[in-house]
Chain A
Amino acid sequence: MEYAKAFLIGGGLCLIGQILIDKTKLTPARILVSYVVIGVILGGVGVYKPFAEFAGAGASVPLTGFGNLLAKGVREAVDEQGFLGIFLGGLKATAGGISAAIFAGLLASLFFKPRDKS
């Protein structure tokens, strides 16, 4: 059941992205950024947490989950460090994801070369 929920919710979020690519003139970059911003807003107003508890990885893996993590990190850092936390919290909370992505990118670039599509 847990897997089914994660699959359906995560897949649903991706489906929305695919429809946006096919049916609107939004570039992939804009769609990605919108997902992050929406995640930040939903996380900021406290809606994302119950959603993530319900959907599990289906809510935390898509980019909205990254946005939520940014919001959460800022909130926690503000509680601990006050004003400075606004600037420190976001990246601190998401550092794992960012570093892993950069490292995976490096790794992929060492072993693979882009190919012509045909």
Chain B
Amino acid sequence: MAQYRQGRQSFVLPQPPVITAWASTAGKKESEGPLAHCFDITGQDTWFGQRTWEQAEKQMQRMTLGKLAEKANLRITDFDLVFSGDLLNQCIGSSFSLRNTGIPHLGLYGACSTMAEALLLASMTVGGGFADRVVAMTSSHFASSERQYRFPLGYGGQRTPTAQWTVTGSGAALVSREGTGPKITACTIGSVTDLGIKDANNMGAAMAPAAYATICAHLSDLGKQPEDYDRIITGDLGQIGKEMLLELARRDGLSLGGRLEDCGTLIFDRENQDVHAGGSGCGCSAVTLCGYLLNRLKAGKWKSILFCGTGALLSPTSTQQGLPIPGVCHAVAIEGGKG
């Protein structure tokens, strides 16, 4: 019998791993948004000194990891393991950023849920006694994602009103066995949910059912109520997906009301930044977590949050073949941090 497992898909961490440091790098548009003051590094040049967008994404991860080590008073070689992922083919943003560093690395792909997935795995690894200092890191870049999922920027295509804006940014969190900071107390691993939504420009709607399923599973597995968290924060449902999630909850009589926030709607000013439905991408929840959410926990503004990374598990091939978009959501409960 797995001793930490609770319910169908959750587990608790009796010796909660501590998020002892976090760092974020954000692009130009993000650093003009409402969370601008939260980021450690902001780049006015979204090439980050590189020749290609993919290399720019790699560079962001490298800078973020360096900043994380600096904030934790460590060298990057002190990290026992890095779980990282991005949205590029074969996750080259992550593997190229870590090459020749000598740091053990496990690459992940969970689309935009990758930050929650990495954090969840890091907490398992540390909580299970397999490592002392594990980094969870992701990145995304607007320009490389447009090429990956839609059209290269040079094509000059138009964006539809429901399309979300991929965040240019990278966030990293250091999960440690001991230290001070917010603690990871429980996690829920999501299952892949597909309600047949086919529009690759409306991923929020494709992910909302997965987010709802995971939030419900989390609450029932652990016998909790939404009121037990100061905020329930989804990854990047955007405005449309967030409204859909609230509607799903309302139908079941579950009140998420003022508690629900979405990284995709927090990071940009929808009215003034022309981002249509909001932000998305692995970097969206990563920079929001590692720039804004963890800072608020540390400052004691919130006591606990449920961080729910949401991912749309489509590929360009599945979209071209007319297949619907499966969604997934992983939840990580983070508590305390003040003092």
Residues on A lying within 8 angstroms of B by beta carbon are: 21-22, 25, 28, 109, 114-118
Contacts and interface: CB of A to CB of B under 8 A. Distances in A.
B105 to A, nearest CB: 28
A116 B154 contact: no
Interface string B192-207: 0000001101000000
A115 B152 CA distance: 11
Contacts of B47: 116
29 contacts: A21-B158, A22-B160, A22-B161, A25-B160, A25-B198, A25-B199, A25-B201, A28-B151, A28-B157, A28-B158, A109-B154, A114-B143, A114-B154, A115-B153, A116-B28, A116-B29, A116-B46, A116-B47, A116-B53, A116-B142, A116-B143, A116-B153, A116-B168, A117-B142, A117-B153, A118-B27, A118-B29, A118-B32, A118-B46
Contact of A21 (B143, B153, B154, B160): B160
B209 to A, nearest CB: 19
B320 to A, nearest CB: 10
A97 to B, nearest CB: 18
A9 to B, nearest CB: 22
A12 B28 CA distance: 37
A109 B28 CA distance: 24
Chain A interface SS verdict (over half): loop
Contacts of A25: 160, 198-199, 201
A109 B154 CA distance: 9
A25 B324 CA distance: 13
Given A117-B142, A118-B28, A118-B46, 16 more contacts: A21-B158, A22-B161, A25-B198, A25-B199, A25-B201, A28-B151, A28-B158, A114-B143, A114-B153, A114-B154, A115-B153, A116-B28, A116-B46, A116-B153, A118-B29, A118-B32
A105 to B, nearest CB: 9
Interface string B140-163: 001100000001111001101100
A7 B199 CA distance: 34
Contact of A116 (B27, B151, B157, B199): B27
Contacts of A114: 143, 152-154
Interface string B4-45: 000000000000000000000001110010000000000000
Contacts of B198: 25
B301 to A, nearest CB: 30
A28 B29 CA distance: 25
Contacts of B152: 114
Contacts of A116: 27-29, 46-47, 53, 142-143, 153, 168
B86 to A, nearest CB: 17
- Listed residue (A21, A22, A115, A116) with the most chain B CB atoms within 10 angstroms of its CB: A116
Contacts of B161: 22
B153 to A, nearest CB: 4
B75 to A, nearest CB: 32
B119 to A, nearest CB: 28
A32 to B, nearest CB: 10
B202 to A, nearest CB: 9
Contacts of B46: 116, 118
- Listed residue (A21, A115, A117, A118) with the most chain B CB atoms within 10 angstroms of its CB: A118
Contacts of A21: 158, 160
Contacts of B157: 28
A117 B32 CA distance: 13
B205 to A, nearest CB: 12
Contacts of A28: 151, 157-158
A114 B144 CA distance: 12
